[in-house]
Amino acid sequence: MLEVHILGTSSARPAHGRSVSGTLVRHQGTSVAVDCGEGFQNRVVDHNRDLKEGGRSERARLGRLDCILLTHGHLDHTWGLLPMLHTMALDDRRTSLNVIAPTSHAVVQQLLSSGDPFGDLEGMELDAVDLSRLYRQWWSLGGTSSSLGFEVSWFLVGVDSSGGSRNDSFSAVRLDPDQGSVKALESLEGLCGNLEARCVPTRHSVPSCGWWLKEAGRLGRFDRRAAESAKLPDEVIIGLARGQNVEHQGVVLEHSAFRGRPRTGASLLISGDTAGGVAAFGRLAEDGFATSLLIHESTYLDEHQERADRYLHATAKQAAAAANACAARHLVLTHYSARISDSSASHSEAAEVHRSVFDAADGDVIRISDDAASVLRRNGKDWLEMPL
């Protein structure tokens, strides 16, 4: 099961009691942050207090963070990263941490050619908040392993800035500012603990991506009645239930014969900031990457479509169309404009396009399994659970 803590649902700036972007995803000991706008670590502390006071067992702890995934360089999505690293250092962190973010394919190739994480990027017409630039600023302000006292590994992934279908055009580098080295990366395997991660190109005013995360598949449910009906001894049934093939009376019994279909594992796609109509979302479904739940920005309502197009953001209906494109079973709306004081209007518009829509609020905890999804929402000191 994936446990998703939504800790910011506002776009650009805090508004109407909502904070800027930041999400924590937990799964069996792995903890991954997706974006961390200003005040992110404070929000985690307050969120955990609320969970504890409500008698909940769920937690979102920064000390156990394995990986930070950034969707793009705008400060409402990144401003909390460096303070968070320094807090980890003050807390005497010893475990390693990965930071992974998008940039252009051209930057990745330039860094590989130079072999220097501080290599010359002049003349490339980079935005001031391109993450290749932000990395260097953070390093200069003590964001290196040698300054922090624990290992931080920095990665940049090249993306198609049009949000096109180049999911399979992979280019990435690992940057080590302490050693002055740049190494090509073949995949993201193993960088997000026990979660599979894929970078999905989106379309925004700077290089951007969504992050697709998936838990490992599992064996089908064991049918104990079928094993008992075959009059198998207990020790044979125990072996089969553990996923072992067992020899019995000279015959090897396949454990799969006593199980339902294999479970593929729950999956999640978080869009980051993006215009509507991103081709890469559709490619996920075409390439067989199922998406249990999509968390998508819904900055505007229909009446502000022109603004959405101008600033490369999405409306609630475009978020719903994206959920259809990637065949997501559920859609969660977030990243509301300050113009939107009540997200129910966003929900109504998205629900015209997608069958399962939920408008998120700060502090929501979403739980996703193979075949179900639910949300915990704080109500005073209590928490209410609702199916999606």
DSSP characters for 273-339?
S--S--HHHHHHHHTT---SEEEEE--B-GGGHHHHHHHT--BHHHHHHHHHHTT-SEEEEE-B-TT
Domain boundary among 258, 277, 306: 258
Q: How far apart are CA 47 and CA 39, in angstroms?
A: 12
What pLDDT does 165 receive? 57
Question: What is the 8-class DSSP label of residue 15?
Answer: B
- Considering the domain architecture, whether residues 16 and 111 belong to the same structural domain is answered as yes
Q: Are residues 119 and 242 in the same domain?
A: no
Residue with tokens 């590989």: 112
For residues 243 and 378, state if they share a domain: no
Distance CA 99, CA 154 (A): 5
* In a shared domain, residues 200 and 232: no
pLDDT at site 123: 81
Give residue 254's pLDDT. 86
Q: What is the pLDDT of residue 125?
A: 87
**Residues 82 and 198 both lie in one domain:** yes
Q: CB-based burial of residue 247 (10 Å sphere; 0-12 exposed, 13-18 middle, 19+ buried)?
A: exposed
Q: Which domain holds residue 22?
A: 2-218+264-387
R_g of the chain, CA atoms, integer Å: 22
208 shares its domain with 253 = no
pLDDT reported for residue 386: 92
User: For residue 24, what pLDDT is reported?
Assistant: 97
238 and 334: one domain?
A: no
End-to-end alpha carbon distance in the chain: 15
The pLDDT of residue 9 is 98
What b-and-e string marks burial along 314-334, b requiring 16 or more CB atoms within 10 Å of the CB? bbbbbbbbbbbbbebbbbbbb
What pLDDT does residue 21 have?
98
Quick check: 31 and 24 in contact, CB under 8 A?
A: yes
User: What does the pLDDT read at residue 228?
Assistant: 86
Tally of domains within the chain: 2
Whole-number Cα distances in Å, 99 to 66, 74, 138, 201, 319: 9, 16, 12, 17, 27
Residues 6+ apart with CB under 8 A from 380: none
Question: Do 246 and 122 fall into the same domain?
Answer: no
Residue 54: CATH number of its domain: 3.60.15.10
pLDDT, averaged in runs of 10, over the chain (388 residues): 97 96 95 97 96 93 93 97 97 97 96 94 90 97 98 96 68 97 96 95 96 84 85 88 87 85 86 95 90 97 97 98 97 97 97 98 95 92 92
Output the pTM of the full model. Answer: 0.91
Q: Residues 118, 228: one domain? A: no
**Statement to judge: residues 250 and 270 lie in one domain:** no
DSSP line for 253-279: EPGGGGB-SPB---EEEE--S--S--H
| Phi then psi dihedrals of residue 167, to 5 deg | -55, -30
- Look at residue 263 in the predicted model and tell me its pLDDT: 67
Q: What is the pLDDT of residue 217?
A: 65
Which of the listed residues 258, 282, 312 is the one where a domain comes to its end? 258
Residues 331 and 346 in one domain: yes
Please give the distance of CA 242 from its chain centroid, rounded to a whole number.
31
Residues 253 and 316 in one domain: no
| Residue where a domain stops, chosen among 234, 258, 282 | 258
Q: Please state, as a whole number, how many other Cβ atoms lie within 10 Å of the Cβ of residue 309.
A: 15
> Hey, which residues does 2 pair with through a beta bridge?
368
